[in-house]
Amino acid sequence: MPNTEAQFDKAIASCRNIFAAKLKDYGPSWRLMRPASITDQIYIKANRVRSLEVKGESWVGEGILPEFMAMVNYGIVGLIQLEKGYADGKDMSVEQALALYDRYMSRTKELMLAKNHDYDEAWRLMRVSSYTDLILTKIMRTKEIEDNDGMTEVSEGIDANYMDIINYAVFGIIKLTEKQS
């Protein structure tokens, strides 16, 4: 049986490398985005994955794997923005952004490990398309919570939904890279 934690670490290292490279190119320009805009950006990525899964082809040449990686990174951005709020400009250094990335990814990994223990690696029996559908469902839930000014009666908040989205996207990355090997 493959080691989930090692596979998770490898997948998030790839995502972090992309995040760091984009920080080098653009700085933390995402600081201007409000959380609802980040949710919509994740929706665009997840919807594209679903479209590619259904159509079976890409006209722009990028596949599903980069979109799952983007969902991971936008999910982390969403968690940062929930804590810090949005800004009117770039108000943090690359180093500060990476430190926040690492902090939120660590929390997200802890959640994955706890749920993976309780669910007994059930994600391994799922199809990648199911991760896509679950991510889209989490996005719709997040939009409802955002439209209700963050208020819930019995449900988890936006942050928990972002972490679940990240974890499902990482599972997608792991499955897709296993398939390529």
- Tell me: pLDDT of 180 over 80: no
Residue 89 or residue 138, greater confidence: 138
In this prediction, residue 84 carries a pLDDT of 96
- Smallest CA-to-CA distance from 36 within 99, 78, 97 is with 78
Q: Which pLDDT tens digit goes with each residue over 11-55?
A: 999 999 999 999 999 999 999 999 999 999 999 999 999 999 999
In this prediction, residue 2 carries a pLDDT of 85
With a threshold of 0.85, does the pTM exceed it? Answer: yes
In this prediction, residue 53 carries a pLDDT of 95
In this prediction, residue 104 carries a pLDDT of 98
Angle among Cα 13, 103, 41 to the nearest 5 degrees reads 70
Tokens of 45: 């990525």
In this prediction, residue 57 carries a pLDDT of 86
DSSP state of 181: -
Residue 63 or residue 15, greater confidence: 15
- Smallest CA-to-CA distance from 101 within 132, 77, 126 is with 77
In this prediction, residue 90 carries a pLDDT of 81
Site of tokens 């259904």: 54
Confidence grade of residue 60 (pLDDT, cut at 50, 70, 90):
confident
Q: Which pLDDT tens digit goes with each residue over 90-141?
A: 899 999 999 999 999 999 999 999 999 999 999 999 999 999 999 999 999 9
